[in-house]
Amino acid sequence: MEQRRAADRAIEQARSALARDEPESAADHLAGALTHAPTLPEAHELLGRLAAQPGGGLDLFPLAPHVTAGGLAARAHLLAAAGHPEDGLPLLAAASGRAPGSDWAGVPWVGDPALGVRIEPGLLVQLLMRLCTAVGDPAPPVTRTTLRPYLTVARYAIAAHPEHAMLLGAGSALARRIGETALAVDWAARGARSRPSKLAEIWLGYAYRSAGRVPEALAALRRAVAHDPDDLSVYADIAGTLADHGRLEDALTWVDRALERDPEYDCAVHTAHRLRHRADGDLGHLVRLADFIRDHPDESHEHTDLADCCRAVPWLSGAPAAAPLPRGSLTGTSEPTEEAVRRLRQVASLSWSHPPAAYDAAVQLIMVPPHDLLALLAHPPADVAAPEIWACLGLLHHGTEEPWLDSERRRLLLDLLDGGLDRVTEAALFALIVTAWIDPSARPDVAAIVAGRLGEVGGRPGARSVAELALATPDLAPAARATAAGMIRAAVVPRQRGRGRSRLLLRWRRS
């Protein structure tokens, strides 16, 4: 409803501008209306009036830098009205690429059979592939509906060019994303027969996989490897497909084949660590993957393997959703500043993708001095999620030039561990563990601290929290890891509320 109200306001402003003979202003407001409601009849009626301007109104919607999606769509509609829909469709697709959930293509001229015949097949291939990269596989339900008009264009184009292998493959890629798996298989198979190639077999393999025909999918992907044995991304795809269908040993064989060719190839490395972690549950695989990501910032594309493995694991992807520990109390601290609270609100959350991502998210707190971060621990805002965790993560961003063992950030976090077990000590322990994830040189020290803490808590309230944190700690000694796992399996001490504790005066004082 809010989108429609915003579109209606923009339409009224556009009409007023036209009444004042200000077509440029009207065009700006009309582009805004289309952004909110791409198929609104009133907007298209006004577009018709602007089409009567000199040059068909195209000068009112130039292809300038940073043009809005609404501006792209308006120019596309004007081109179609001028008899050039084949020139307008790429602009409409660009708008869909920016906001795939909006119904940019739900207009009559896109469904005209003549458009599929008129548009150059190579141009349509590029358009379809850009759309595919803008959405998931499969696409969300809403996006499946909004992208369907482009599939209609592809149908007519393929009817006009039935042997165009690239068009068949790109059409298949879009079809499978919007749930038309049978059509995706048909088009991809026709493309592979028309012009056998690595890409044609990849499209066919993906189409078979989406249709649940795993043996055929694997056969097609193996043929893709035969076309190009050096394309290691296909090895990773085969491994992922095998693993998803219970053939983990075979999957690891394909990963090893890829790594033999290139030990640094990012897709193979990510897949290898993910699958090996699935095989044995060893945290070390994820830590080594995090190290690889840190040391290879220029990867071929975005990967989600680390986040996928950390999802739903206590502390790896967020604070456990269990009864919280009591709040701690700090003495010798002043009230936090309003600016410190504001910045804490900007970053605080109960979840994160993985420990290094939590560290990265807290980087904004470098603008909050350590004394204010400690004040936030003493006086945590009630409306902020996990304030203690983020305040402690903020401490990690101060004095990063200092070697870990002699650093002020280490000293402060150890000070916060002094005493009983509460939310502050829990947060400080987590911050130490995050340090171990991002700094290999800190791992022996942090592992020793966590192991010592695990031995201290015993059967005390909150011991389960320390056990969960221990299992998230890189390079923890096997005996300590076994102790932590045993505590959790036996549920020796469930999370429970306990009494608060008094805390020793921090050695830190506001200077």
Tell me the pLDDT tens digit for each residue of 449-483: 999 999 888 767 778 899 999 999 999 999 999 99
The residue assigned the tokens 């358009």 is 127
Q: Which two tokens stand for residue 334?
A: 């002043």
- What CA–CA distance (Å, rounded) separates 138 from 9? 35
Name the stretches of the chain with pLDDT < 50.
323, 492-511
Which three-class secondary structure string do you get for 208-266?
Answer: HHHCCCHHHHHHHHHHHHHHCCCCHHHHHHHHHHHHHCCCHHHHHHHHHHHHHHCCCCH
Q: Which two tokens stand for residue 90?
A: 């790429």
Residue 347 lies in a domain: yes
Q: Could you tell me the residue range of the domain that residue 397 belongs to?
A: 338-490
325: closest CA among 424, 457, 433? Answer: 424
**Residue 457 phi/psi, 5° resolution?**
-75, -30
Give CA–CA dist 362/392, Å, rounded.
Answer: 9
Q: What is the number of domains present in the chain? A: 1
Residue with tokens 């907007």: 43
Cis peptide before 138 (omega within 30 of 0): yes
Q: Is residue 452 part of a domain?
A: yes
Reading phi first (left if > 0) and then psi (alpha if -120 to 50, else beta), residue 269 is in: alpha
**Which tokens go with 52?**
């009567």
Partners of 75 in beta bridges: none
Residue 318 dihedral angles phi and psi, to the nearest 5°: 155, 170
318 three-class SS: strand
pLDDT in the model for residue 487: 87
Q: What is the pTM of this model?
A: 0.80
Question: Which position has the token pair 């798996």?
Answer: 181
Rounded distance between C-alpha atoms, residue 440 and residue 442, angstroms:
5
Which residue in this structure is represented by tokens 């999370």? 495
Cα(119)–Cα(265) distance, integer angstroms: 38
Residue among 74, 72, 86 nearest 40 (CA) = 74
| 351 SS3 class | strand
With respect to residue 233, please indicate whether it lies within any of the assigned structural domains.
no
Is 450 within a domain?
yes
Phi and psi (nearest 5°) for 242? -60, -45
Handedness of CA 33, 39, 40, 45 (dihedral sign): positive
Q: Output DSSP code: residue 499.
A: -
Whether residue 393 lies inside any domain: the answer is yes
Q: How many CB atoms are located within 10 Å of the residue 304 CB?
A: 11
Distance CA 463, CA 455 (A): 10
- Rama region for 386: left / alpha / beta (φ>0; ψ in -120 to 50; rest): left
Is 485 domain-assigned?
yes
Half-sphere exposure of 70 (CA within 13 A, CB side): 22
**In this structure, which long-range contacts are made by residues 409-415, counting pairs with CB atoms below 8 Å and at least 24 apart in sequence?**
409/435, 410/435, 410/445, 411/507, 412/370, 412/374, 412/508, 414/449, 415/506, 415/507, 415/508
Residue 351 phi/psi, 5° resolution? -140, 160
Dihedral sign (CA 270, 185, 167, 178)? negative
Q: Are 442 and 436 in contact (CB under 8 A)?
A: yes
- For the segment 278-292, what is each residue's pLDDT rounded down to a tens digit? 999 999 999 999 999
Contact present, 330 and 377 (Cβ < 8 Å): yes
Residue 278 belongs to a domain? no
Q: Does residue 131 lie within any of the structural domains?
A: no
Q: Return the structure tokens found at 218.
A: 């694997």
